[in-house]
């Protein structure tokens, strides 16, 4: 398993290096490779490689001291994260944080070490905001705290999103109704189908339509968690946990930013937002989780008693 995951991780890092040198720049972020018929978002490929390798390290080197495991995982994570941050693609970086935290927790890292990491992250947060973010990214934080800041500029999208969702009422205005902000071009033709797709759903299908979407995601979350903690071994649990966390970190961030609960970061909504690379990665993650479910009675290796996390 290690020799299968390591090439995936190295391929992701290699693609990030190539993107830095020869990538396609869109909206100020050099995050894509032009492959002719489509553009490849390399940060998504690196995310898959990171999950696979972290799962192997945490499951196969369980006897290492927790601090050493944290240092190894930290080194493996920092390489792609720094390269993604300089693109800059803050949204993709944010998704890594809960994914790594969840995998470390499930991987057996003691809580005191996790608490220390959280406190360290909070202590470094002001430095990251002041010195690691660009001006337009800091402006998004200002908009999050004060939606009335620059209403015709940086706050335009979030205010129109709130207006669209609020105007949908209980049942919405109808699919592609002519009086929706989306059809009138007020939501932005380049973001309505991606970052603010939930606002479009809320306006066209109302509160009930949004509730159906969120209910579907909630059901999927329960199924994924059941699969993760009924896996045959720790490796399966970690793989399912990693991909589940990625999917629902996207859901939380995307829905949150459309209703002003989280800052705008350009994170898409799984299985609904437009985006080829992102959709392929989400489906790949679901395939891995399904594989864990199918092989729940056939561990990758003979597990020690403490390895088996089955709830059956």
Annotated domain spans of the chain: 1-133, 134-312
Pairing of strands 24-26, 29-34: antiparallel
Query: pTM for this structure?
Result: 0.87
Looking at per-residue confidence, does 253 or 85 come out higher?
A: 253
pLDDT class for 280, splitting at 50, 70, 90?
Answer: very high
**Whether residue 226 has pLDDT greater than 60:** yes
pLDDT class for 176, splitting at 50, 70, 90?
Answer: confident
What's the DSSP call for residue 128?
Answer: I
**Whether residue 295 has pLDDT greater than 90:** no
Q: How far apart are CA 32 and CA 181, in angstroms?
A: 30
Q: DSSP of 295-310, one letter per residue?
A: TTTS-SS---TTT---
**Whether residue 28 has pLDDT greater than 60:** yes
Residue 71: count of CB within 10 angstroms of its CB: 12
Give start and end residues of each alpha helix (H) in the chain: 2-22, 42-60, 66-85, 90-106, 111-127, 135-145, 156-167, 197-228, 234-258, 276-294
Note the Cα 116 to chain centre separation in Å. 23
Q: Which two tokens stand for residue 301?
A: 């290796």
**Whether residue 305 has pLDDT greater than 50:** no
| pLDDT for the residue 71 | 93
The whole-number average pLDDT for the span 185-207 is: 82
Q: Which two tokens stand for residue 64?
A: 């290492």
**Whether residue 148 has pLDDT greater than 80:** no
**Whether residue 105 has pLDDT greater than 80:** yes
Looking at per-residue confidence, does 3 or 73 come out higher?
A: 73
What's the DSSP call for residue 269?
Answer: P
């Amino acid at each position: 398993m290690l020799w299968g995951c390591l090439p995936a991780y190295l391929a992701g890092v290699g693609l990030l290096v190539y993107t830095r040198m020869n990538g396609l720049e869109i909206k100020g972020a050099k995050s894509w490779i032009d492959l002719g018929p489509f553009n490849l978002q390399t940060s998504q490929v690196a995310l898959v490689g990171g999950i696979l390798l972290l799962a192997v390290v945490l499951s196969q080197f369980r006897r290492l001291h927790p601090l050493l495991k944290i240092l190894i995982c930290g080194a493996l994570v920092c390489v792609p994260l720094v390269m993604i941050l300089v693109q800059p693609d803050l949204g993709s970086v944010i998704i890594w944080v809960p994914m790594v935290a969840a995998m470390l927790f499930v991987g057996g890292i003691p809580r005191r070490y996790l608490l220390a990491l959280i406190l360290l992250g909070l202590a470094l947060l002001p430095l990251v905001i002041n010195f690691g973010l660009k001006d337009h990214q800091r402006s998004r934080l200002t908009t999050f705290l004060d939606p009335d800041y620059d209403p015709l500029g940086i706050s335009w999208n979030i205010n129109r999103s709130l207006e669209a969702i609020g105007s949908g009422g209980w049942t919405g205005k109808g699919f592609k109704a002519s009086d929706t902000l989306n059809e009138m071009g007020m939501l932005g033709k380049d973001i309505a189908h991606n970052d603010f797709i939930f606002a479009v759903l809320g306006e066209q299908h109302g509160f009930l339509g949004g509730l159906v979407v969120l209910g579907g995601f909630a059901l999927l979350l329960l199924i994924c968690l059941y699969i993760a903690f009924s896996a045959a071994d720790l490796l399966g649990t970690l793989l399912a946990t990693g991909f589940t966390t990625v999917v629902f970190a996207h859901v939380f961030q995307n829905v949150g930013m459309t209703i002003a609960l989280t800052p705008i970061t350009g994170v898409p909504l799984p299985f609904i937002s437009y985006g080829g690379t992102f959709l392929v990665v989400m489906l790949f993650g679901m395939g891995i989780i399904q594989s864990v479910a199918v092989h729940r009675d056939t561990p990758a290796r003979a597990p020690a008693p403490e390895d088996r996390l089955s709830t059956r």
